[in-house]
Amino acid sequence: MSHWVYGRLMSVDRTQVLRAAAALLTRKATATMDEVARAAGIGRATLHRHFAGRDALVRALEELGLQELEAAHDRARTEEGPADEAVRRLVAEVEPVGPLLSFLVTENQLFEGDQQNEGWARLDARVSALFRRGQEQGVFRIDLTPAWLTEAFYGLIGSGAWAVQDGRVAAKDFQYMIVELLLGGARRSVEK
């Protein structure tokens, strides 16, 4: 059932197309199928041959984003070491996926009742587990629920990525600002 592996030709690299689509759609979420095709350097017909429709394309992008986020989690090894350092590693690894994440979150809001990809629940669980672990370690406060911290995590990544893309803040500060705010907050404390 592998559409994308043919006996002879593989002229159009599915992943390459997805990356081009992601790059465009994260900047202009309403981009047309034709625009996506041109951005990927292929014809609209070919785009349709690989992705049945706009929905299918978005679903594929969702799959790509989920894979990259899972990979980022794996690389960050969030189960190892102090939780705050793990959060620091995680933010660093997730940063490149920020724009795509932001796009997918917005897009997902439209799929109201439709079944959500269970991948999101798995990711939520991983982030949530990290914060819970931090609480059990005594590193994180216990009055902020893991669910809220998870929302805040994704929220900061998303709006941070957008702010960078929009030029409102400097890209080089992304990681530091998000980690420091997430962990330490804005208030000046005695320590540090």
Partner DNA sequence: ATCGAATGAGACACTGATGTCTCATTGGGT
Partner DNA sequence: ACCCAATGAGACATCAGTGTCTCATTCGAT
Which residues would be at the binding site for a second copy (CB under 8 A)?
Answer: 28-30, 84, 87, 106, 109-110, 112, 131, 134, 138-145, 147-149, 151-152, 154-156, 158-160, 162-163, 168-169, 173, 177-178, 180-191
From CA 3, how far away is CA 178, in angstroms rounded? 41
Using rule CB under 7 A, residue 18 touches DNA: no
From CA 78, how far away is CA 98, in angstroms rounded? 18
Identify which of residues 70 and 180 has a Cβ nearer to a second copy in the complex.
180
At a CB cut-off of 8 Å and minimum separation 6, what does 118 contact? Answer: none
- Shortest distance, position 60 Cβ to DNA, whole Å: 13
Residue 166 DSSP code = T
The option from DNA, a second copy, none interacting with 7 (CB < 5 to 8 A, set by class) reads DNA
Using rule CB under 7 A, residue 19 touches DNA: no
**Residue with the two structure tokens 């992008």:** 61
Contact 42, 12 (CB under 8 A): yes
Q: Give, as ranges, the residues between 47 and 76 that touch DNA (CB under 7 A).
A: 48-50, 52-55
